[in-house]
Amino acid sequence: MKIDKGQTVALVGGSGCGKSTCIQLIERFYDCDLGEVCVDGVNVEHLNLCWLRSKIGFVQQEPTLFSYSILENIAYGDNSRSIPMEEIIEAAKKANIHNFIENLPQGYATNVGDKGSQLSGGQKQRIAIARALIRNPSILLLDEATSALDSESEKIVQEALDEAMKGRTSLVIAHRLSTIQNADKIIVLKDGKVIEEGNHQTLLAKRGAYFELLNRQS
């Protein structure tokens, strides 16, 4: 599997096919038994782990927010330094959440509650996107980032994700295939192996595994 710099690549396939494992290997939550994972041609096992992870932004299905202010939750995305307010606001704007925050009585000082209980699913997810962007990552990993949302929230969050992916190398896992049809490349996995790859149109024309997955959702 190869992802070129600046590409958006989507991983699709049934449950247990290895999609999330790919993301965990890139982040070095564990290492390969066989083969290797390379970034810029260098095996990730030879890279400093803190440096590697500082270059990666990660947004998952259920974001973890802490019972602190919105500002602190966003700033937590880069706890290696003190984040200027301008950068917090810029990240929030890119995540399509700044206007909502500004309209709150306490603005960025608003406490989100335990696990973000004061916010909707879509609002929590957009704060998680802002948190991922605060470190200005070169690589963006999205693991079913919209699958737990209703259709209206999904549209707003998807717009934020589209903005976040601009100019970055992005690897996307999506349950709803409608959200990844504009990806530069779609890779279909089965039992840990790549069985198809191409863009949306070429895979549709093949009428193979991707075509079947799409038909099941329509």
Spatial distance between the Cα atoms of 4 and 11, rounded to a whole number of angstroms:
15
User: Quick check: is 66 in a domain?
Assistant: yes
* 117 domain-assigned: yes
pLDDT at site 52: 95
Q: Give the contacts of 182 (CB within 8 A, at least 6 positions apart).
A: 8, 200
Residue 1 placed within a domain: no
- Distance between alpha carbon 215 and the CA centroid of its chain, in Å? 25
Q: What is the pTM of this model?
A: 0.91
3 within some domain: no
CB atoms within 10 A of CB 127: 25
Can you give the CATH number for the domain in which 94 is found?
3.40.50.300
pLDDT along the chain (218 residues), means of 10: 94 92 94 92 95 93 92 94 95 93 95 90 92 94 85 85 91 89 95 95 96 90
Asked whether residue 2 is assigned to any structural domain, the reply reads no
Task: Evaluate whether residue 89 is within a structural domain.
Answer: yes
Number of domains making up the chain: 1
Query: Is position 118 within any domain?
Result: yes
Residue 66's pLDDT is 93
Q: Which domain holds residue 82?
A: 8-217
Domain assignment of residue 113, yes or no: yes
pLDDT of residue 160: 87
Given this model, what pLDDT does residue 5 score? Answer: 94
Residue 57 confidence (pLDDT):
94
